[in-house]
Structure 1
């Protein structure tokens, strides 16, 4: 609660000061007339600020000021306190014995009004941003305090130069506090980022000196002693500012020599912080503050050099926020290089400006144009990469689209493990990005050619062209060869664009880059296929039943992976394709029910709806076969009965199913039931493909603590047992994999077949002990 009241009090003070200083700044111009009292007790103008409104008044150095706003100069507060003429409306001066009355009704130059206002806004924005976005970071909070201190300095600048006492107290006090807060920030920053300890005990003494200085400055409120204190106030403030800043640099230098041999990121941090601090404070100290302390006037007005101080906190705010703290050296080098490149164009521009306006320009204007153009060109060059990247969607839309697609494709390449994914993830993006009619990936083996295609492309023509080796130079296709070795050669082929034009050079280069990525992925997919085939062959070519337990773990893994993939595919079909068909059916029904629809169109839409329903039913059956969820709900026997009954309507033979007495099998685990269901599925599929039977019979029974599954058909049978093994390589789940499932659950597998005499399978599984998957 105390913290909230403290924050509210500080905000209230800041708002009051902001209102007061803004009122002083915009209520009266900065006149910039400095007086001195002669031995004859006359107030004589001894200096006119070149950037002030006095340049527009009829006053000169040496004029005697008789009255200010109708009062003697001694009675005017600003003359009494500071020996300046500010916040005045009229002057009475004497020049050569003649008296002139001057009305001060002009505006001051923008340099003392606009520039501090802009710098104040930047600092206040950064302070609020850091405190709002990164308040949990102690270093970020102190950096916000640095910006807030600078905000108060810029806020009070306008009122201070106009002779406001509160403004002078605030600006000089904050000038002493600023390097102290910088040092406090460095202590916390290095502790947080690099676990380095800077001397912190001196902080309390520095803050104590700043507080004592503030108390002494409060005596400026008393006119009788104000000028005496004011005479030393500026030099003491600037001297303290320079001393503490040099102390910061010395501490960083000592620390760098301590950690430089470590060659770690910590030494890089120290070096970069030292460089940033040096560049930020060098201009204002060397060209403004130090000459003012030593000779009484600055080489370059501080209003021009103090902006460099913003470089240090702004650069660190950016680097802390973007987590690029260790790249600050790179930032400086890039900006320095941009500055070197800007010298020539800035020199040419300044020379042209000086030549064209040689009769009306002076040295200061030429210097301003040169420095301004240097900074502007350097900033543009430095930000060119960032601006080009940000504006690329508008400046180079096609290039941006290709790069975006390249990022997406390269990201998705790591997830590809099959040819189906190669088509759905990669080929689809390539066709869509290039806006071509179609595309294909061709695998040319020694004895066959395999094509994966997307869109409109003549696969038979592509196959002929690949076999004739004339595809690479074909005028209608863009063909790029990817992998080429003994086993196969792969090509990426795209047709003409939908506008019936060929690909541009930029798109061809993009396609070549894509093929360089695809080469590795295609090789991986090929190896995965080989490995999968080999694993399936190993899973099917089991050793004799007596030794089958030796690779029990391998069969378990293979079966689990198969079931997981089937469930995934079934879920995808249910959640995507079947849902799309459902909404399509509703949409067609709503169109067909409209009264304005012609009868012929309604019949056509209803036929389309029936066709969609047929597709949906087929997909529903496929999902059931992939994931027989009814095994858990109604049991094995009822599921097999429903499955075979539905299949009997589409099989080319008579299909019978006799369940018999088999209640004990329902007490077994779900994985065992799933193995039996898969065996029945494979037996029925083989019967459809190869048996040429007129009658197929499935029988289930229990006998002597054994569950028996008997399959019989009157088909062509097998010529010999070698054909059984050939079936494995063709389907990936043949007769021997069924044997593998039976052995996995502890059963026995018998096969009786003769050429022309049908086939009979007898599968027996013990009901007392079943090995679970």
Structure 2
């Protein structure tokens, strides 16, 4: 149903159809047009070769730097469109080449073999599909939120840019012009994406930076139709590097401002890790060397594959609630990168000190290979360590089959005992004492720190402010968990509205709340309100933790002097017969606890579940 609704949205349907058509047309066209990879420069009325790409046909045909191009397709180079505008000879079928001091020779550019070119273009084709599929699947699973929309359009734009890259290098079907325009939007879309992940935070400086980068597409179009069109590639590379550094800096600043234990800090650290993995190899090995020396260190087809980590990481952060320790991953990654850079510098220096080579390009290759080797080694080491730990954990479970059952029975006894105690009153008392005591002291402490540190800018004051804010945040959170103030002050319906809103903000789940035959101001007995609220809270938490459903429905109504509460999800569900088994084994204690809590006040809980079709919980609680 979600996919059907998505395809009915004209905006997304047109975008996806445009990508598929572009992908088929341009990649099919590249299979029949060879990439020559020759750059020219006019010197003394002669067009000389100034750059030869080792991946192109020109290099394989023996064309070298310094050769003179006399004719292109039997035309003077000045008359050939690609030479005239871009100083390249893409699209040529025949070249007349002269080595200085020798007679000219005719070189025929052979057509490429379809299968061979298919393997050559496979990395770009798969990478573009990877970006598009990642954005599309995330949009299907988490529909119509600003974060998902930003991720989809960023992934879609990068996928289109990758498709046009091969056509751009061959000057096919306006590929160079369209590719430049599409690439010019990537820095803007990257900043727009970072601005809303994991939550929207557009500072004044960020807004001005965003507007500055928004001018890049306009400048690109102006350059395309000017005599400076040849500088577009370098201009766009610089813009991409600056926007990437801006995005990384923005995330680093955000981490420093977030509370240490907040989920947003963990999400931001995970996103930052994905950006570093995705962008640094491309910047270090391709973009920066191209700007500084004119040639990348490694084939761009290798370094650009890392960019796929960006949408994958963002998609994972958005879809998954429980994330790995992002800060720990970021710390380990920083160590790996530092070790790789140091090793590369040492190896390159040893080569020069021992006169092994005087070729700077070879030294750069050694540096990059050392960096890549250490990163691969580190990744494999982490992966193997994880597998060994997993296998070790499984073996321990096999060797102690009764340990889990004993622990589950102990936990079940504790919960069963707690269910028959009046713990809510104790929670209320503790929450009141926390609010009237420690929380008030924390607020006063925060006020005094800000007053004393007013006008002072030093590390100690900032650290004290951060600690005071964190203390107040944790105390408010504890008070809310123990006894929601909205429930005591305003009643069941406002408390449930606040609960649903908070869960949607924290977990990006769509919750539909329906209230029938009850006014917002209507109050019930304290025990009934507490029981109903805890039931809804536990039910929605189960949806988030276990069902993996992206949509939940809550309905509260009154019928025949009973409060009827329905919670429905559309997730993976389960077999109804497992409920009694869970009670015995101490599993899924939340459902067992809900049934006993509702039964304690004379109510009834019905559970209707089916694998793959979600769960419906219906609680009937007498009002009297």
TM-score by length of 1: 0.44
Do 2:31 and 2:117's aligned partners in 1 also have CA atoms closer than 8 Å?
Answer: no
Aligned twin of 1:82 = 86
> 2:381 aligned with 1:381, yes or no?
yes
Taking a change above 3 Å as real, the CA distance of residues 267 and 103 of structure 1, as seen in their structure-2 partners, is same
Deviations 1:312-345 (A, max 9, x none): 4333333333324472112233456678999999
Residue segments in structure 2 that go unaligned for 5+ positions in a row:
346-355, 357-361, 415-576, 582-624
CA distance in 1, matches of 2:402, 2:252: 49
How far off is 1:185 after superposition?
1.8
Superposition deviation, residue 370 in structure 1: 4.6
TM superposition shift of 1:53: 2.5
Q: CA deviation at 1:162?
A: 1.6
Q: For residue 72 of structure 1, what is the aligned residue in structure 2? A: 76
Per the TM alignment, residue 34 of structure 1 is displaced from its structure 2 partner at its CA by: 1.3
Corresponding residue SS for 1:51: coil
- Counterpart mapping for 1:219-238 below 5 A: 219=225, 228-238=227-237
Note if contact 2:343-2:370 (Cα within 8 Å) is conserved in structure 1.
no
Give runs of aligned pairs for residues 397-408 of structure 1, distance below 5 A. 401-402=398-399, 406-407=403-404
Q: How does 1:372-451 map to 2 (within 5 A)?
A: 372-388=372-388, 392=391, 401-402=398-399, 406-407=403-404, 410-415=407-412
The answer for the alignment partner of 1:16 in structure 2 is 21
| CA shift digits 1:717-757 (9 cap, x unpaired) | xxxxxxxxxxxxxxxxxxxxxxxxxxxxxxxxxxxxxxxxx
Inter-CA distance 407–345: structure 2 relative to 1 (3 Å threshold): farther
Aligned to 1:156: 164
SS at match of 1:34: strand
Do the aligned residues in 2 keep the contact of 1:281 with 1:308 (CA within 8 Å)? yes
**8 Å CA contact retained: 1:34, 1:45:** yes
SS in 2 for 1:323: coil
Partner Cα distance (2:56, 2:236) in 1? 23
Deviations 1:122-152 (CA, angstroms, capped at 9, x unpaired): 3223222212222254323322322222212
Q: Distance between the aligned counterparts of 1:43 and 1:346, measured in 2?
A: 38
* Contact kept? 1:139, 1:188, Cα under 8 Å: yes
d(CA) in 1 for partners of 2:128 and 2:413? Answer: 55
Residue by residue, what CA displacement relative to the aligned partner does 1:273-298 show, whole Å, maximum 9, x if unpaired?
Answer: 55654564344445543454466555
SS at match of 1:156: helix
Counterparts of 1:144 and 1:28 in 2: how far apart (Å)?
A: 31
Report matched runs for 1:213-224 at 5 Å.
213=219, 215-216=221-222, 219=225
Q: Secondary structure at the match of 1:44?
A: strand
Residue 187 of structure 1 is matched in structure 2 by: 195
| SS of residue matched to 1:88 | coil
Aligned CA distance change for structure 1 residues 147 and 403 (closer, same or farther; 3 Å): farther
Structure number with the bigger relative contact order (C-alpha 8 A, sep ≥ 6) is 2
Contact between 2:164 and 2:178, CA under 8 Å: does it hold in 1? yes
Distance 1:159 1:120 in 2: 13
RMSD of aligned residue pairs (Cα, Å): 4.6
Any idea what the Cα deviations from partners look like across 1:185-225, whole Å, max 9, x if unmatched? 22222436xxx454475487357524424643664xxxxx5
Equivalent of 1:115, from 120, 123, 131?
123
Q: Which runs of 5+ in 1 are unaligned?
A: 220-224, 348-357, 418-571, 577-773
Aligned partner of residue 85 in structure 1, secondary structure: coil
1:289 match? 287
Aligned equivalent of 2:152: 144
Q: Secondary structure at the match of 1:61?
A: coil
Q: How far has the Cα of 1:413 moved from its partner?
A: 4.7
Residue 32 of structure 1 aligns with which residue?
37
Distance 2:172 2:406 in 1: 66
Maintained 8 Å contact 1:252/1:270: yes
**Counterpart contact for 1:33–1:47, Cα < 8 Å:** yes
Instruction: Look up the SS of the partner of 1:92 in the other structure.
Output: strand
Equivalent-residue separation in structure 2 for 1:249 and 1:371 (angstroms): 21
